[in-house]
Amino acid sequence: MTATLRSLATDIGFQIGGALNISCLDIPEYEAIAAHHFNLLVSMGDFKIHNVRPTPNDWNFDKTDRLMAFAKAHNQAVRGHTLCWHLACSDWMKTLDGPELERVLREFIKEMVGRYRGKVGTWDVINEAINDHGRPRPSIWKKIDNFIPKCFQWAHEANPDAELLYLDYRVHTVGRWKAIAKMVRELKSAGIPIHGVGMQLHHDVMRSLAISTLRLEGAIRDLRALGMNVHLCEITVGLNPNAQVLPRAMGYQLHARAYRQIAQAALAGGATSMTIWNPYDKHIKHVLREAVPGLFDEAYQPKPAYQALMDVLSQRSALVA
């Protein structure tokens, strides 16, 4: 059988993920790639509170249930994204006072984590609660006293076996790293169940190359030294057409090199997974499409970046064989 990213990652006990638009599973080429190339699936938006509970009286699990059925049919893991995010909130929630908002968020977390207990092994519990200066980010959820530890506790109560993550971007920078490290230590000291940190890596190709060369492996190791599992939860590498005017073949080679270095840093640092945030150029938002950040082109064909990841996983597989 021909090796794929999925088969090579599985062989070495690693997760290679694809973050999907569940509605696009109606497209045969999209569905085939999702089933064939990834051992981990993530929904980009359909697990968020405003999509699941659009009104006080309505719960919509159609798309989340569909992803779970798809993953079960193809023997894939699922990571739940995300239980609490400052940009995810239904309009009707914005007028609630602190106690009412706390009740709604608690109900949502317990319903979601409980519904998929034994099916979703890892949850992004809190997403982007710290700003670029390492301070708490303004958020509707701050109406709830101590909302961060409460969210982790509610998720743990709904599924004591789930791996619970804090997710953020620019984790490699000093200010955010110090703030996250402080938060992790405080949560652990208080007995709050937090098991890992997720990193977002949404960068153009040159910045990606610099970060993966200078800081990424070290940042992963630093987080692991805190007792955290580390997941590279959202990865995009774009060829910015305004700043990087390169022949397409040359651009694709740089793109491949960037993905190669991310994978190498992930494995060397001891990360648990890496997830490509929408691996399809054809289905990336129009404003980003010209940056061609996906692993698969407009015709659903693998790009050199796909082969670069294959090479890294193959090399690791040979070492552990």
How many domains does the chain divide into?
A: 2
Residue-wise pLDDT for 279-293, tens only, equals: 999 998 755 667 888
**Pairing of β 40-43 and β 15-20:** parallel
- Which tokens sit at 106? 């608690």
Q: Kindly indicate the confidence band of residue 2, based on its pLDDT and cuts at 50, 70 and 90.
A: confident
pLDDT of residue 135: 94
Task: Check whether 248 has a pLDDT greater than 60.
Answer: yes
User: Would you place residue 245 in the very low, low, confident or very high pLDDT band (cuts 50, 70, 90)?
Assistant: low
d(CA 4, CA 10): 10
CB of 260 closer than 8 Å to CB of 311: yes
Q: Are residues 321 and 203 in the same domain?
A: yes
The predicted pLDDT at position 291 comes to 82
Which residue range(s) make up the domain with 239? 1-13+195-321
**Which uninterrupted H or E stretch holds 249?**
helix 248-269
Parallel/antiparallel/unpaired status of strands 122-127 and 15-20: unpaired
Residue 94 gets which letter from DSSP?
A: G
Q: Taking 80 as the threshold, does the pLDDT of residue 250 lie above it?
A: yes
Q: Following DSSP, what letter does each residue of 186-248 receive, concatenated?
A: HHHHTT----EEEEEEEEEHHHHHHHHHHTHHHHHHHHHHTT-EEEEEEEEEE--TTT----H
Q: Within this chain, do residues 256 and 297 fall inside the same structural domain, yes or no? A: yes
pLDDT of residue 33: 98
The CA-atom distances, in angstroms, between 12 and each of 6, 86, 156, 182 are 10, 36, 28, 32
- Is residue 74 domain-resident? yes
Residue 18 inside a domain? The answer is no
Per-residue pLDDT of 62-89, as tens digits, reads 999 999 999 999 999 999 999 999 999 9
188 within a domain of the structure (yes/no): no
| Residue 73 belongs to some domain of the structure | yes
* pLDDT computed for residue 243 by the predictor: 57
Strand partners, 168: 199
Residues 216 and 256 in one domain: yes
- Whole-prediction pTM value? 0.96
**Looking at residues 278-307, what average pLDDT do you find?**
88
Is there a single domain that holds both residue 200 and residue 89? no
User: Is residue 57 one of the residues assigned to a domain?
Assistant: yes
For 87, 91, 105, the CA distances from 140, given in Å and listed in that order, are 9, 11, 11
Domain end marker among 117, 146, 177: 177
The predicted pLDDT at position 288 comes to 65
Does residue 321 surpass a pLDDT of 80?
no
168 and 259 belong to one structural domain? no
- Residue 145: predicted pLDDT: 97
Q: 146 and 202 share a domain?
A: no
pLDDT reading at 150 higher than 90:
yes
Residue 256 placed within a domain? yes
Q: What is the model's pLDDT at position 320?
A: 75
Q: Is residue 231 part of a domain?
A: yes
- Nearest-CA neighbor of 263 among 307, 202, 223, 313? 313
Asked if 214 and 314 sit in the same domain, the reply is yes
Examine the domain organization and report whether 7 and 55 are in the same domain.
no
Per this entry, what is the length of the chain? 321
pLDDT one-digit tens code per residue, 91-133: 999 999 999 999 999 999 999 999 999 999 999 999 999 999 9
How many CB atoms are located within 10 Å of the residue 210 CB? Answer: 14
> Do residue 211 and residue 277 come from a single domain?
yes
Closest residue by Cα to residue 43 from 198, 275, 290: 275
- The CATH number of whichever domain residue 52 belongs to comes to 3.20.20.80
130 plus 215 within the same structural domain = no
